[in-house]
Amino acid sequence: MPQEQELMEKIVSLCKRRGFVYPGSEIYGGLANSWDYGPLGTELRRNIKDAWWKRFVQRRTDIVGIETAVIMNPKVWVASGHVGEGFADPLVECKNCHERFRADQIDAAAPCPSCGKKDTFTEPRMFNILMKTFLGAVEGEKSEAYLRGETAQGMFVNFKNVLDSNRVKPPFGIAQIGKAFRNEITPGNFIFRTREFEQMEIEYFIAPPKTDADWQAVFEMWRNEMYGWMRAVGIDTAQASEFEVPAEECAHYSKRTIDFMFAFPFGVKELYGLAYRTDFDLKNHTEQSGQDLSYLDPETNERYIPHCIEPTWGVDRTVLAVLLSAYANDGERTVLKLNPSLAPYKAAVFPLLRNKPELVAKAQQIYDTLRTKYAIAWDDRGNIGKRYLAQDEIGTPACITIDFDTLENETVTVRDRDTKEQKRVAISELSALIGASLEA
């Protein structure tokens, strides 16, 4: 455990030092479990989202993407079961220090983790974790609204719009990437659990299954897709496992849920989820809104409310799992062995010496050419060895050094991040070399 804690401390330190993740509102003393993404973290995060969108929306013919509002009509959350007991956590409060904890994550007979006093916890009471806000100039029940607790409902309430405006029919999916908000009682562990987070979700609609085997086949397809995604982005699947959520513990909308777990330094915790939501959402929204959200099969003339299988990925947890999987230290250097397509910079350009105008000018020319297509870093500080180490630590796959031979024969030295091998490459081949690494 001490080694695992040390790894987490190293990741957090690297993230701040190199500009991946900063504490939120830091100059004002911060805000508990609030984090901002710096320049490199923003690039990594964007690359993850772009890879997901390309893989599951742009390269598939059975999924379309949408982007829906963060604030929806409050009736949406009543119909979905999120207002009330269905979306609430059991809460206990220490009567001595008044800290609050989730009842299912604390031993009520043990001392309070905050103040150390025993026998001070109140009886559990349910705490709804939707974040409430108000619309308009006056606060009151008529102006109450909620920040969405999941992106899914935006897809369900737009089901008919998507059907009417696109040539889709079950089986097909609606995908969305977007922010969600939950007033978590016990957030923490860096960016793992926060009150503001981003989801990548798909609602995959199928005809009502005639047998369990019908929906289980689709469920298994998405199970395999989720492992394929982990491998594609470099998440160590040896650290991944599955947890079959017991039926009595499944969310109110789910007939079956699998949590994909990951061995984080702070314990084996949920990374992704896969749920069979049946026809719960479309049926409830049909009843509550009065709008017909059924589908008419033009071939059989059968009308039905589709069932839904939902694979869901957390962007922030993906970032953390990718960083942990990529992190390595051999005693001489720290390196993030990121998949090149996710790396914030695809290559770095160095003039061998910053006090030689001819080298700097040539390096600048190469840098300006490459950065029209790729995210490229420029570094002319210190000696080459230190520049290599700095780029290794942020995961840059290749370093390109412009030296005196470059001026003679139009070749440069390209150093590989993972193997540290160096080779001479013609300047004219650099763009294709970088492009090939992104497709590998």
- CATH number at 297 reads 3.30.930.10
Which domain, by its residues, includes 24? 2-71+148-325
Q: CB–CB of 316/191 below 8 Å?
A: yes
Shortest CA distance to 145 belongs to which of 132, 128, 129?
Answer: 132
Determine the Cα–Cα distance for residues 346 and 95; give it in Å rounded to an integer: 54
* Banded model confidence at residue 423, pLDDT cuts 50, 70, 90: very high
Which of 263, 294, 325 is where one domain is finished? Answer: 325
DSSP 216: H
Q: Which helix (H) or strand (E) holds 406?
A: helix 404-409
- pLDDT exceeding 70 applies to what percent of the chain? 94
Determine the Cα–Cα distance for residues 434 and 190; give it in Å rounded to an integer: 33
Side-chain-side CA neighbours of 300 within 13 Å: the count stands at 9
Determine the Cα–Cα distance for residues 179 and 49; give it in Å rounded to an integer: 12
Determine the Cα–Cα distance for residues 258 and 273; give it in Å rounded to an integer: 6
Which of 296, 325, 354 is where one domain is finished? Answer: 325
Q: CB–CB of 258/286 below 8 Å?
A: no
260 within domain boundaries: yes
Kindly report, residue by residue over 271-319, the tens digit of the pLDDT: 999 999 999 999 999 999 999 999 999 999 999 999 999 999 999 999 9
- Tell me, yes or no, whether 345 and 409 share the same domain: yes
- Tell me, yes or no, whether 321 and 343 share the same domain: no
281 within domain boundaries: yes
- Tell me, yes or no, whether 310 and 413 share the same domain: no
- Tell me, yes or no, whether 49 and 191 share the same domain: yes
| Confidence (pLDDT) at 257 | 96
How high does pLDDT run on average in the chain?
92
What's the average model confidence in pLDDT over 403-417? 96
105 within domain boundaries: no
Shortest CA distance to 17 belongs to which of 415, 389, 418?
Answer: 389
| Confidence (pLDDT) at 439 | 86
- Tell me, yes or no, whether 320 and 347 share the same domain: no
134 within domain boundaries: no
For the chain, what is the domain count? 2
- CATH number at 354 reads 3.40.50.800
- Tell me, yes or no, whether 349 and 266 share the same domain: no
* Banded model confidence at residue 54, pLDDT cuts 50, 70, 90: very high
287 within domain boundaries: yes
- Tell me, yes or no, whether 42 and 169 share the same domain: yes
| Confidence (pLDDT) at 127 | 60
Which of 257, 290, 325 is where one domain is finished? Answer: 325
Per the omega criterion (within 30 degrees of 0), is the bond before 90 cis? Answer: no
For residues 114-149, one letter each, b for 16 or more C-beta atoms within 10 angstroms of the residue's C-beta and e for the rest, the string is: eeeeeebbeebeebbbbbeeeeeeeeeeeeebbbbb
* Banded model confidence at residue 2, pLDDT cuts 50, 70, 90: low
